[in-house]
Amino acid sequence: MPYYVYILASKKNGVLYTGVTNNLTRRLDEHKRGMNDGFTRQYYVHKLVYVERYQDVNAAIRREKCIKKWNRQWKVKRIESLNPDWNDLAT
């Protein structure tokens, strides 16, 4: 079963959110529909701008924790290295 580490943005250079899931389609739908109270709902963070795929849940969780510790500049650099226009990768 694949696991995904992902970064969502409110817009280009906007608010960022990092998460991990085993069902990316379902989780993105939950974010977009504002199904859960919290950060992504409050700040309208639902544009998928970066994603990594893992086969091991523990590796995915470690990576998510690592990315969450990065400063904003590192996250932006990583996003722009693969998605320079900040396109929504879910569309």
Is-above-0.85 flag for pTM?
yes
Does residue 27 form part of some domain? yes
**CATH number for the domain that contains residue 57:** 3.40.1440.10
**How many other C-beta atoms can be found within 10 angstroms of the C-beta atom of residue 84?**
9
Q: How many domains does the chain have?
A: 1
Does residue 91 form part of some domain? no
Residue 44: C-alpha distances to residues 3, 7, 15 (Å): 24, 13, 9
Does residue 42 form part of some domain? yes
Does residue 89 form part of some domain? no
pLDDT at 61: 98
**How many other C-beta atoms can be found within 10 angstroms of the C-beta atom of residue 37?**
8
pLDDT tens sequence for the chain (91 residues): 999 999 999 999 999 999 999 999 999 999 888 887 788 888 889 999 999 999 999 999 999 999 999 999 999 999 999 999 999 999 8
Does residue 43 form part of some domain? yes
